[in-house]
Amino acid sequence: MIVYKFGYGGSADSPDISPFVVKLETWLRMSDLPYETCIGNLAKMPKHKLPVALIDGKLVHGL
């Protein structure tokens, strides 16, 4: 199982511009879950907010 993490995108100093996305990425790293980072499209996301994770084909939001 791989988790796809959708965020805004990072910079040279930070993995993402959103502290909520960074929090999710930190949790994924600490739990040793394999994940991939993807750039999210707010228009296609539930509630038009990020972060969103795709787990087993289901979008999980509002963590």
Looking at residue 63, its pLDDT comes to 58
User: Going residue by residue through the chain (63 aa), what tens digit of pLDDT does each one get?
Assistant: 899 999 999 888 888 999 999 999 999 999 999 999 999 999 999 899 999 999 999 999 985
Could you give phi then psi for residue 34, rounded to 5 degrees? -70, 135
Q: Are residues 63 and 24 in contact, defined by beta-carbon separation less than 8 angstroms?
A: yes
Residue-number span of the structural domain to which 20 is assigned: 3-61
CATH number for 43 = 3.40.30.10
Number of domains in the chain: 1
> What is the rounded CA–CA span in Å between residue 24 and residue 46?
17
